[in-house]
Structures are given as structure tokens and as C-alpha cells.
Amino acid sequence: MRESLVSRRALLAGGAAFLIPSYAAARTKLKVAIFSKHLQFLQGEDLAKGAVEIGFDAIDLTVRKGGHVEPANVARDLPPLAGIIRKHGLEVSMVTTDIGDAETPYAEDVLKTASALGIRHYRSGGFKWADGVPLETQIEGFRTRLAKLTALNQRYGMCAMYHTHSGVGQVGASIWDLHEIMRGLDPKAMGINYDVGHATIEGGLGGWIASFRICGSHLRGIAVKDFVWAKDAKGSWRERWCPIGEGMVKLDQFFKMVAASDFDGPVQVHFEYPLGGANNGSRSITMTREEVFAQMKKDLARTRASMAQAGL
């Protein structure tokens, strides 16, 4: 036994370390969460039971205006809801918030309450590029805002995860801009929630590979969704969200890259394609609950299959 251990250590010390990362043996199983926006038609006990029935490990809970928990009521409403979710064997792996910087209303209330509950990750709001203002000036302004938020996160042992979207004017769409904005900020307190669907929209051939790599130590969360290019009613090309595994996102390749990294944060599955209103966070749905759950189970199974193939 000792001989095999020594041999393994010797192997990892050599060039093979690039193929077999030394942290692989110690990696804990990644938890897969459902973004609770898509279960907005369920509340309390029903929310927890629904996530369990679909097969998720955790919930990414919306703590934002119109979400499962209103920010103004976070101290009152988040603890009992987190308790219900945990009672059903699920984790609250993160919360999704409207927090953009330390000045966002109720930001400190949200962080203080989540931290006290042992929830360490939260998804933060995004920035937009302004026309006519030098990029260097805007980058410095965003960095200053995030530096103050980083300090607040450090106070409560929290990590913000800036969610990456695609689209014109979106800060973080290319990821390279976040690399500059977050340069020098503590990655344990300020990170990136890498959305592989949006990243593929922005860089369908090799851009998404480069953008994933540039996240580096700031990679703290991963969001999964899929899409195809299609023409809209006006004949313009744009993304059309679709079930996972039916679109352009190279999920098998992506999770192999994740497996080769030291990522250990929350993985979230999103459902943006037509799903009876569940996709939009509606409080009432036009499909049966059974139909919605059946499709969600398929997407979760496809996600887990890609993760398993990568050894995650």
C-alpha cells in the first residue's frame, strides 16, 4: 500500500501531473442545484419537495425582488426557508441576488443573514458598458465598486459570483473584461459565475474555451444551459434556448475542462427554453407540473451524464 502511494506521488511530481491533477483524489462531489427562478410556482415545503422529486442536490435560491425571498424581508424569511430545504436533504448552495455593489439596498442584510446560515456563495448583479466613456475609465470605476463589495464579503465570509451574460453592452460577456476588473481582488470573496451557454453564444468555436481559462482562480460557480442559432419573427439571427444536449454547447468537452481544474463551487442548471412559464419564473404555469418536472429531469440527467463522463 505504501509502495503504491509513493509511486503515485512520484507520478504526480513528474510531467504526468498535467494529465492527473494532484487534487483529483481529494475532490468532493460537485453539487448540482436548480435555479429556483424556474420553480417560482412552488413555495416553502412544495419548493423543497419539487427539487427532491426532480433529483437535484441543492437549490440556488432567489433572494431578490420578486424572488422566493424578498431582500427587505431576508432576516425574517430566509432562515425558515433554508431550514425547510435542508430538512428535505438538500443544500442551499448559493443565493441569487440583485446585489451589484456594496451600496445596493439590503446588501449587508442579505450577506449577514446568508453567512449566519452557512451559505457562502451568492450570485451578484451585472454592469453595463456606457457609450462615449473610455473603457479604462469604466474598468477603473467597476474595479472600485467591486473592491468595496469584496471588503464587505470578507467581513461576512461570503463570495460574490458575477454572472456572465451574452449581449451588446454586457460587462463580462467576453470574460476578458472581468479579468481586468477583478485583477488583484481576493478570489475567495469576489469571483465569476461562468455561464457556459452565454459563453458559447459569445464564442462558439474557441472563444468559450479561452474565456473559461481566463476565469482562473476567480471561477467560483458554473451555470448550465443550451441553445441553437435561429431566425426570429423579423428574420434576424439570435440565440434560441433549448433543452440541454440538443444545442451547441459542448458540455462533454466543457466538463472535462472543469475536471482538469480545481473548481469546487456550485453548479446550477437553468431552463430558459419554453416550459409553460417555468422558464420565465412565472408563479403560475400553463403546463402540468408533471410535464415540467419530466423535462427538468431529462436536462438534469444529461448534465450529470456529461459530468460523470468527465469523472465529476
Helices (runs of H) and strands (runs of E) counted in the chain: 10, 10
Neighbours of 242 (CB within 10 A): 20
Q: Domain range holding 83?
A: 31-309
**Mean pLDDT over each residue of the chain, to the nearest integer:** 92
In a domain, 151, yes or no: yes
Instruction: Please give the Cα distance from 138 to 304 (Å, whole number).
Output: 39
For residues 125 and 74, the model is more confident at 74
pLDDT in tens, 91-138: 999 999 999 999 999 999 999 999 999 999 999 989 999 999 999 999
Whether 13 is covered by a domain: the verdict is no
CATH assignment of the domain containing 69 = 3.20.20.150
Model confidence band, residue 6 (pLDDT cutoffs 50, 70, 90)? very low
What pLDDT, on the 0 to 100 scale, is given for residue 27? 64
Q: Is residue 148 part of a domain?
A: yes
Least confident interval from 13-27, 120-134, 142-156, 275-289: 13-27
Q: What is the pLDDT of residue 125?
A: 83
How far is residue 111's CA from residue 159's CA, in Å, rounded to a whole number? 9
Q: How many domains does the chain have?
A: 1
Q: What is the mean pLDDT of residues 254-265?
A: 97
pLDDT of residue 257: 98
**Within 13 Å and on the Cβ side, how many CA atoms surround 74?**
26
Average pLDDT for residues 80-85, to the nearest whole number? 98
pLDDT tens digits, one per residue of 213-244? 999 999 999 999 999 999 999 999 999 999 99
10 part of a folded domain = no
What is the 8-class DSSP label of residue 203? -
Sorting pLDDT into bands at 50, 70 and 90, what band is 28?
confident
pLDDT band with cut points at 50, 70 and 90 for residue 12: very low
Q: Would the pLDDT of 199 be above 60? A: yes
Q: Which residues contact 85 (CB under 8 A, 6 or more apart)?
A: 47, 48, 51, 59, 61, 91, 92
> Which pLDDT score is estimated for 9?
40
Residue 17 belongs to some domain of the structure: no
Q: Is residue 3 part of a domain?
A: no
Domain assignment present for residue 23? The answer is no
Model confidence at 59, in pLDDT bands (50, 70, 90)? Answer: very high
Q: How confident is the model at residue 26 (pLDDT cuts 50, 70, 90)?
A: low
Residue 180 falls inside a structural domain: yes
Among residues 121, 129, 116, the alpha carbon closest in space to that of 96 is found at 121
d(CA 194, CA 174): 11
